[in-house]
């Protein structure tokens, strides 16, 4: 069995605007999705997902990725999860130049599904890495990021950006602007994440922003302004020493930009009452700044606070179901256990 993991992420700045070619700065966090893969001799795929829904699920189907399984779980999130797993398998088979192999796949994750923390990107990145390694193909992180982006692009009907998948594959803080992706030297920022227990509909939220942008010139200007916020935030990070803890001045300036960013996202209609409650709960508790992270509509907010006050405040904020501190994940996709298999079914521990 080959096992790989990849981290989730929070957006420091730039979600939604990144879809339109503006820059974004996501940061990988130490919440991981782990994918275990074992090739099998037939072309059937068996998926056990222990953490992608409240009860988990197990499905088995044939024909490699030619069709989706009939999943007897009444949630579109599970259907979406299967779409991402299928797309990851398709990319792995393409990388290995193979079509005559199936997989037993187990997915475990401590990233809330659909909550804006990059769960789908982490599953796709880890899945591609594990499956290609299991077939004897070793891809570098940048190729995994590219293939993971193609998988998400397919599942999201062309509305994906490279931000989530590049961040998950590379780790740390990254900057993404269109096809230009690169890592950033950034200090370990004191992230606090609040979770309302829900999830937004990414496709509908992205479509809503697109409609506003096409209808109103000021909405298009709003998207561009988010890009300006990202550039200013990137300048602040570039001036900081990544080896040192961020000082009060840096946190205050980054926090101000996060507050601006949230206000603009709220104006674009992608926030929600629970997200706004958590943002204001964090600010009132003394956070340097707070904003939603991800597509919005529900899910998570991210705040900056080196003290325990924001965690405490969010625990007493109506609508906040969970709160945790998130360390920067300096390592992206990684192999946890590896056993190669050739196409004759012979195995060799790596």
* Active-site residue identified among 164, 196, 288, 305: 164
The burial class, CB within 10 Å (0-12 / 13-18 / 19+), for 127 is buried
Straight-line distance from the first to the last Cα atom of the chain, in angstroms, rounded to the nearest whole number: 11
Residue 186, φ and ψ in degrees, nearest 5: -135, 145
DSSP string across 214-248: HH-HHHHHHHHHHHHHHHHHHHHHHHS-TTSPPPH
Active site (annotated) includes residue 164: yes
The burial class, CB within 10 Å (0-12 / 13-18 / 19+), for 48 is middle
| CA–CA separation, 284 and 257 (whole Å) | 17
Residue 180: beta bridge partners? 177
Picking from 189, 176, 100, 97, the residue whose alpha carbon sits closest to that of residue 137 is: 97
Instruction: Tell me the catalytic residues.
Output: 164
């Amino acid at each position: 069995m080959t096992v790989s993991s990849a981290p989730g992420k929070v957006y420091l700045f730039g979600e939604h605007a990144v879809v339109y070619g503006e820059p974004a700065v996501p940061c990988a966090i130490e919440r991981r999705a782990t994918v275990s893969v074992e090739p099998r001799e037939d072309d059937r795929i068996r998926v056990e997902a222990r953490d992608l829904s409240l009860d988990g699920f197990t499905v088995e189907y044939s024909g490699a990725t030619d069709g989706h399984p009939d999943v007897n779980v009444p949630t579109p999130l599970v259907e979406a999860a299967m779409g991402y797993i299928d797309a990851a398998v398709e990319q792995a088979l393409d990388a290995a130049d193979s079509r005559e192999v199936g997989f037993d796949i187990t997915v475990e994750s401590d990233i809330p599904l659909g909550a804006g923390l990059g769960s789908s990107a982490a599953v796709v990145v880890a899945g591609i890495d594990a499956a290609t390694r299991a077939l004897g193909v070793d891809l570098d992180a940048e190729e995994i990021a590219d293939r993971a982006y193609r998988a998400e692009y397919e599942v999201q009907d062309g509305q994906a950006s490279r931000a989530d998948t590049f961040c998950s594959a590379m780790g740390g803080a990254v900057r993404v602007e269109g096809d230009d992706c690169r890592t950033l030297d950034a200090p370990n920022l004191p992230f606090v994440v609040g979770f309302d227990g829900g999830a937004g509909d990414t496709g509908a939220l992205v479509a809503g922003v697109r409609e506003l942008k096409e209808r109103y010139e000021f909405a298009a200007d709003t998207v561009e302004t988010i890009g300006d916020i990202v550039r200013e935030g990137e300048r602040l990070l570039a001036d900081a020493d990544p080896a040192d803890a961020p000082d009060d001045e840096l946190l205050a300036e980054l926090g101000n930009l996060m507050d601006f960013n949230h206000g603009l996202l709220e104006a674009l209609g992608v926030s929600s009452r629970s997200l706004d409650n958590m943002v204001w709960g964090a600010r009132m508790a003394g956070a340097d700044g707070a904003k939603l992270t991800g597509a919005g509509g529900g899910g998570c907010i991210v705040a900056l606070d080196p003290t325990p006050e924001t965690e405490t405040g969010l625990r007493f904020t109506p609508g906040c179901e969970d709160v945790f501190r998130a360390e920067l994940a300096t390592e992206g996709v990684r192999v946890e256990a590896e056993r190669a298999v050739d196409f004759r079914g012979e195995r060799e521990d790596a």
